[in-house]
Structure 1
């Protein structure tokens, strides 16, 4: 099977037709599944907040990172049931997520649960946009004593900084509210969720800045699932 390479954010809206819009409302909770081995199953709940019936498709992809990109590959190691759901207006349902593989977990396994509202062919109208919702939910199976082990580099680029983090550990690192500073002065910041770096992987993020130094030592601070993190890196480039 060919891997699917893309950047899927936690909520993606697809525009299917024409210049005006009718919105759909598919809601899910929780927005992350973090299972500690030996736990192998959990659930999410889906709701239809639209005033009409909708159909929902649920799929699971293996999630890796290669050359700094997210790679999603179809998998049979984790199953989601039911895979297709019909939801009446105001209706809800449970989706069960189970790791079916019997292979021992040596380090954290990462997946994405993709929950799509399916477009309704009968609702197609000339000049009308149907907004169809996708949720991409991280799913982790984490062995005991797993932890990230990160190293950081920073490069001055056009219009900001490129922050690269390498994770040689056995667990992902989730980064949000990233701040770069030097000598007590804030150089740049990127609020909200910045992204994940999976175990044994590396990723790079761009942090916009209007001006700032192109050398010296930079302090990196951010929120993570383990609390506030702080690191230092020598800036490269200019």
Structure 2
């Protein structure tokens, strides 16, 4: 299964959490009714040369699933994702039903010119529409909501440029990065190698959009003196990145 999440990636609700909630509710109510669908690919990139891209939505469940498409402009503020409705993209068909074991092709189209200087970011949400409940059903009905990142590349060359810092603040030790490039950076496998040989894995994959600052508070995790040298390693857009950081 490619993806079974309420939200995908940066700020996503993971399948494990969904199953935990479902199991807890099952203990209380007796049963849980939930659909199951996935999408491929898991991100969309559009450009002036490719204004339309197709996705395939697959119903891996045992019952039909009805889905509504919603498009939003995507920003990040103070480490949180912010969404607002947009008409700069088009998704077709807007509402559809997929039979068990079948799939539906969804097309995403660009309705504006790319920005000449920077990458544009959006999210396509696939919202499951609740099905009529079986007669006499008592329990919890879970409607899945899945989010797919959509990026529109600039007509100029685009690339992320992440600058990292490790500093002491009034709230404790904080690792931060600011993306000074003009395109998103997808950060995964983020780790700190301490001088004593200990390796700290900080977070699961996250997007850092162009011009955005993101922080990872380390209070209660590790305490390092000012001037301590730490090695950072990560993958940014699937490329290995390493950096020597000194605690400020």
Instruction: Give TM-score, length-normalised by structure 1.
Output: 0.83
C-alpha separation in 1, matches of 2:90 and 2:160: 27
1:73 maps to which of 71, 79, 84: 84
Matched, 1:83 2:94: yes
Question: Larger relative CO (CA 8 A, sep 6+): 1 or 2?
Answer: 1
| SS state at 1:169 partner | coil
* Number of positions where the alignment pairs a residue of Structure 1 with one of Structure 2: 229
Bigger share in strand: 1
| Consecutive unaligned residues in structure 2, runs of 5 or more | 1-9
4+ aligned runs moved over 6 Å, structure 1: 14-18
Q: 1:10 to 1:138 in 2, by over 3 A?
A: farther
C-alpha separation in 2, matches of 1:71 and 1:132: 22
Aligned to 1:163: 175
Q: 1:208 to 1:40 in 2, by over 3 A?
A: farther
Q: Can you list the C-alpha shifts for 1:76-108, whole angstroms capped at 9, x where unaligned? A: 001111110111111211110011014644210
Aligned to 2:230: 218
Matches within 5 A, 1:137-176: 137-143=148-154, 144-155=156-167, 162-176=174-188
* CA displacement at 1:134 relative to structure 2: 1.6
Bigger share in helix: 2
1:9 maps to which of 7, 12, 18: 12
Matches within 5 A, 1:1-238: 8-9=11-12, 13=18, 19=29, 20-102=31-113, 104-123=115-134, 127-143=138-154, 144-155=156-167, 162-183=174-195, 185-190=197-202, 192-193=204-205, 195-206=206-217, 210-215=221-226, 216-236=228-248
Kindly report the root-mean-square deviation, in angstroms, between the aligned alpha carbons of the 2 structures. 3.0
The answer to whether the Cα contact below 8 Å between 1:10 and 1:135 also exists between their aligned partners in 2 is: no
Instruction: Point out the more displaced range, 14-23 or 28-37.
Output: 14-23
C-alpha separation in 1, matches of 2:45 and 2:113: 19
Instruction: Give TM-score, length-normalised by structure 2.
Output: 0.80
| Consecutive unaligned residues in structure 1, runs of 5 or more | 1-6
